[in-house]
Structure 1
């Protein structure tokens, strides 16, 4: 009786110790998830909003408007100059953007990511090595109470090979050790060991090579979708880089026009002063020339600022180490606009766009993915019926080695068949309906996409032709404005016109020349837009994109 009571108290103490240990471990774990715990990261605060003081950040002392005007009047206006220049052609822009553009570097990772998805799906048929060990031990107190151990252990090691049909084949070895007197004679530690092989195969749901390889085909389709998006992004980046070049060309030429206009105003002021000194014109003529000269300053300042912005745009697209965005070096475009009269076959352009636009290729690939998804959804709606067979080639003896040597003495075979049939199956039916409706929706969007591309191509072709007409009109306007300006100067020299008339004619000439420059740059940009609309880049030869990142190189 005393022994039984002591044994019961020992069990209670053992159980209480386990409970205390569990509670203590839970309490320690909570300290790992404290709300106030600090984490590593950038030191920038996410709550405080800093203040920017323009005067404090200025490199020069702030100056009032009156003081600045007085100083500018005393010194006179100095046209903007760029001491350091770098000559760049449009071919160099294209080459530099292709090699260095940061946005293009980013999209080059996408195909590599797509390859990893394909590799993952291919790897699902790789063989798997399985191993397990189990030790079955009764409680320590129970063993002491019974006075003898009652343990058993088992282990197995095998290889499982997934089949393309949906089944699994497994082959391996196993052993069991029984250490109990209730099974065999006292003093004997029997072993059971041998080889086993099994196969399981679904017959309806999840069965078939096409069903089990559908995920591989989907991954490959999606990989091509990623490739098409990467190509589209590359074409867009190159087109934007070329547009940035021609925008710089426009700003550069327009600044030249405005500086010439300023030089004309300066010359007119000198002539007006000379005529006043000679007594050939009243004093107000100088005032008129000074007023006209001041009116040209704003155009020079505005155009110069636009030029600086366009230079930074082009530097960003090129990402040339020799011309960083913050570089003071000015870019001087060397490729000039050379417009020619063109006429396009609209139907051929549209046909080229339908075969070359990556958006349509992506849509066609997505339709193939939808078809695979529909087949998978229909297969998933079938009943789940799986058959299996296992054969064990076993032997048993008093030691592990002799048990393996006695294989064949205790063979066994197991056949299994399981079935799961949903009643109603509404969930699977709704999935089928959703996949079919998604494909029908995409088919409708394909027609809308084709219509949008057709419109884009036709609009781009019309823009090229209309820009050509703008160039002709602007050139004619420039010629006539130049003649008018020359006439006004001759009339001023004989005293029949004032400085205001001459400067007005000079302003109209500058405006006409500026519109001509705008039309020339617009013509080149319209050709870029037309090439983009057909899924190509401008030029006589194609472009090969750089190789994507190798996924294995980052492991």
Structure 2
């Protein structure tokens, strides 16, 4: 029993030790991807303990616009068109160019991630060539020297296999035929079949699974960062659309109030004039009410201008192609505000914001990418030490038959050819690599500070 426990403990320690930093980074990315795009309502996170519906007062009178147009020629906001808050949200999401532009960034990052994942794909290579050369041959006898004709055909198919350890394996098989013809001498033909394999593997700088797969992790963090930016952009545009909608609602209500005040001022002025005509009032009161009516006219003009600006602001955010930006159409809100009071649980709200806010997720992706950058720059400070190895076999056939060369290849007694060696490159000083490493460390510290500041 004790022996089994020791074996289980040793296996657990070995499994933990074999978990690489890159594997932990991938798990972190998966966790962030699960949190990305989550917008939880208050009820979903239990952030409210009680809610009460407040009193809602609705304006019912909407008939003063046409009358004031005849009196003051102010109301030129266009033909009213009713619009609800749901239509504003839908139109903003479908037509807003800022949202459409932000949606492209994750697609670009996703394609870049696919490109990084494909860097370990094998490549088929092939080359075929045929040549003929004619050279004079000197035998030392008098007379015109004969020509030597050489015909060479070579075909080399191959397969290049990049390794996740940083190296590359190349498999190739070269077949060739040579024909030598000289006047007055027998023709000499030969065929050769030569398969081979070569390996190039870095041992220090650029070696290891973590370094060579780090670019894939970086592309994944860039995809997450772009997705978080898109989430923030979409939410901000929708929020701006709702703010513009309720500002338009406020502009309409203020205009209606100012119109009512104008009508009231006009009625009071007319009453005072009738009292003066009946010698029951003072002319000073008439002057006072004329000043009040002038102020109400100014308020109507100011409210009408604010309404124009609110209508245009909502149109700009919606960017609905069916709604022109000129003054021919005046958007009029049909959705009424629903005033609800909430009692918030601050701790739950803070935890939800730290878990799901797009800005914080973006900074977490950035910090993770900077961590991978530090690992890569640290590896690049090592000297270059590369292993080069190759093996090949040769089969030579009689005549120009490639088939006989292949048969000779498998039935031969000749030893195989091989080579092995290392190449080294050590920079004197290594200042560039050290500076890049220090810069990566500082950028990671900066990303940590930015995240903590945002939190």
Smaller-chain TM-score bracket? 0.7 to 0.9
- Count of paired positions: 374
Pick closer, same or farther for the CA change 1:429–1:135 going to 2, 3 Å: farther
For 2:93, the equivalent position in structure 1 comes to 98
For 2:316, the equivalent position in structure 1 comes to 316
Pick closer, same or farther for the CA change 1:388–1:221 going to 2, 3 Å: same
For 1:427, the equivalent position in structure 2 comes to 432
List gaps (5 residues or longer) in structure 1. Answer: 1-74, 451-555
Deviation string for 1:246-283 (max 9, x for gaps)?
Answer: 11111111111111111112212221221122222344
SS class of match (2:188): coil
SS class of match (2:337): coil
Pick closer, same or farther for the CA change 1:76–1:286 going to 2, 3 Å: farther
For 1:416, the equivalent position in structure 2 comes to 421
Deviation of 1:118 after TM superposition, in Å, equals: 0.4
Q: 1:404 aligns with which of 395, 403, 406?
A: 406
SS class of match (2:409): coil
2:447 pairs with 1:445: no
| Contact 1:79-1:259 within 8 A present in 2 as well | no
2-structure distance, mates of 1:234, 1:249: 23
For 1:508, the equivalent position in structure 2 comes to none
2:431 pairs with 1:436: no
| Contact 1:151-1:178 within 8 A present in 2 as well | yes
Deviation string for 1:279-323 (max 9, x for gaps)?
Answer: 223445444433432232222112111111111211222233443
Deviation of 1:136 after TM superposition, in Å, equals: 6.6
1-structure distance, mates of 2:403, 2:220: 50
1-structure distance, mates of 2:137, 2:291: 112
Deviation string for 1:322-364 (max 9, x for gaps)?
Answer: 4343362222112233434444343433333222222211111
For 2:188, the equivalent position in structure 1 comes to 188
SS class of match (1:176): strand
SS class of match (1:194): strand
For 1:16, the equivalent position in structure 2 comes to none
| Contact 1:276-1:285 within 8 A present in 2 as well | no
TM-score by length of 2: 0.74
2-structure distance, mates of 1:201, 1:361: 38
For 1:132, the equivalent position in structure 2 comes to 127
2-structure distance, mates of 1:214, 1:145: 65
SS class of match (1:148): strand
1-structure distance, mates of 2:227, 2:300: 46
For 1:14, the equivalent position in structure 2 comes to none
1-structure distance, mates of 2:259, 2:318: 28
2-structure distance, mates of 1:101, 1:152: 66
| Contact 2:134-2:147 within 8 A present in 1 as well | no
For 1:388, the equivalent position in structure 2 comes to 388
Counterparts of 1:151-300 in structure 2 under 5 Å? 152=152, 154-179=154-179, 187-283=187-283, 285-300=285-300
Mean Cα deviation higher: 436-445 or 224-233 = 436-445
Mean Cα deviation higher: 281-290 or 221-230 = 281-290
| Contact 2:199-2:389 within 8 A present in 1 as well | yes
2-structure distance, mates of 1:168, 1:312: 61
Deviation of 1:92 after TM superposition, in Å, equals: 2.7
For 2:67, the equivalent position in structure 1 comes to none
Deviation of 1:190 after TM superposition, in Å, equals: 2.1
1-structure distance, mates of 2:95, 2:425: 58
Higher relative contact order (CA closer than 8 Å, sequence separation 6+)? 2
For 1:48, the equivalent position in structure 2 comes to none
2-structure distance, mates of 1:293, 1:142: 120
For 1:86, the equivalent position in structure 2 comes to 81
List gaps (5 residues or longer) in structure 2. Answer: 1-69, 139-143
2-structure distance, mates of 1:113, 1:155: 40
Structure 1 residue runs of 4 or more that deviate by more than 6 Å after TM superposition: 136-146
TM-score by length of 1: 0.62
More strand by share: 2
